[in-house]
Amino acid sequence: MHVGILYSRIRRDEKLLLSELRDRGHDVTKIDVREHRFGLDGTTAPVEDVDLVVDRCLATSRSLYATRFLESYGVPVVNSAETAEICADKAKNSLALAEAGVPTPQTEVAFTKEAALEAIESFGYPCVLKPVVGSWGRLMAKIDSRNAAEAILEHKATLGHYEHKVFYVQEFVEKPGRDIRVLAADGEPVAAMTRSSDHWLTNAAKGGETDAFELDDEALELVAAASDAVGGGLLGVDLMETGESYTVHEVNHTVEFKALSEAADVDVPAAVVDWLEARAASAGDEVAEVTP
């Protein structure tokens, strides 16, 4: 197969993926999204001959627009623009999970400091304030008091980009010092790990310790349902243990898997390329159906 890798930075994840693709003899075209233009009728990006483009853009804004343009030219992209749009925005992510009946933390969005403070007070302390766009635990606030709430809201309203005036307020989930990251391909788990920390943020990017995790039947069902809720694809599904069950707090669409490769006894790049091969084959079949 011929794969286009859409990127703006080659992380260890992309390097593992490139290595696996090349080792299997696939053609790979690296497409630096910063170097290209995307028009209504076509692009300077070399996508004419690719079977599939894999979106690995580090910048969410680029991921959202590039995937949308590529799909408009009929180029198969994973993950889809629809999945990117839902996953890139925490409010849309929460809505999609709730609409699909997937347990997810209680969340409210407010557009003024006053309304956000009401939301915070209704949740009680502590609760969590997150930016709607962002990753790696950046700009997340665990709010322990009204004084802190007022200060953080004023800072966000005064200093922030307009997206920071979309106040995303969420209940604080008392997790057991860890959360669970599952890499799933169309709802089928590839690997799972826990991320543990004494800090309330347990992201691997924040230095959380990782360990392999075995999913039980309930978690398997939730991962599949969460994947369906956002349109499927290669996803990072994040769950927290609530004692008797789980809650899914978000699904990531340009998932990093280097930490999973190290924590779980699974050849993650190989599993990802297995899935890409299957996706490319099915994309080819769809093209054949419409062009007899």
Partner 1 sequence: MTEVECPECGADVSLYDDLETGEIIDCGTCGAELEVIDVNPPVLERAPELEEDWGE
Cα–Cα distance, 41 to 180 (Å, whole number): 42
Among 29, 60, 72, 242, binds partner 1 (CB under 8 A): 60
User: Per CB under 8 A, does 104 bind partner 1?
Assistant: no
User: Per CB under 8 A, does 93 bind partner 1?
Assistant: no
Cα–Cα distance, 135 to 116 (Å, whole number): 21
CB-nearer residue toward partner 1: 123 or 194:
194
Cα–Cα distance, 109 to 167 (Å, whole number): 5
Instruction: Single out the segment in contact with partner 1 by CB under 8 A; choices: 45-53, 78-86, 132-140, 272-280.
Output: 132-140
CB-nearer residue toward partner 1: 123 or 256:
256
Q: CB of residue 43 vs partner 1: minimum separation in angstroms? A: 19
Cα–Cα distance, 26 to 277 (Å, whole number): 10
Site for partner 1 in 224-283 (CB under 8 A): 236, 252-256
CB-nearer residue toward partner 1: 63 or 123:
63
Whether residue 79 is preceded by a cis peptide bond, meaning omega within 30 degrees of 0, is: yes
User: Per CB under 8 A, does 8 bind partner 1?
Assistant: yes
Neighbours of 269 (CB within 10 A): 20
Phi/psi-derived region of residue 231, left when phi > 0, alpha when psi is between -120 and 50, beta in every other case: left
User: Per CB under 8 A, does 85 bind partner 1?
Assistant: no
CB-nearer residue toward partner 1: 231 or 236:
236
Q: In a 3-state reduction of DSSP, which class is residue 37? A: coil
Among 110, 128, 133, 191, binds partner 1 (CB under 8 A): 133
Q: Which residues contact 290 (CB under 8 A, 6 or more apart)?
A: none
Tokens of 130: 């997150």
DSSP sequence for 171-230: EPP--SSEEEEEEEETTEEEEEEEEE-SSS---GGGT-EEEE----HHHHHHHHHHHHHT
Among 103, 126, 134, 177, binds partner 1 (CB under 8 A): 134
Site for partner 1 in 10-29 (CB under 8 A): 10-11, 14-15, 18-19
Tokens of 270: 């190989």
- 14, 20, 21, 22 alpha-carbon torsion, rounded to 10°: 110
Among 29, 36, 58, 267, binds partner 1 (CB under 8 A): 58
Among 32, 154, 188, 216, binds partner 1 (CB under 8 A): 32
User: Per CB under 8 A, does 161 bind partner 1?
Assistant: yes
Cα–Cα distance, 208 to 27 (Å, whole number): 36
Q: CB of residue 36 vs partner 1: minimum separation in angstroms? A: 14
Q: CB of residue 19 vs partner 1: minimum separation in angstroms? A: 8
By CB atoms closer than 10 A (0-12, 13-18, 19+), residue 116 is buried
Query: How many chain residues touch partner 1 (CB under 8 A)?
Result: 30
CB-nearer residue toward partner 1: 123 or 254:
254
Among 23, 111, 114, 136, binds partner 1 (CB under 8 A): 136
Residues that bind partner 1 (CB under 8 A): 7-11, 14-15, 18-19, 30, 32, 58-61, 131, 133-136, 138-139, 161, 205, 236, 252-256
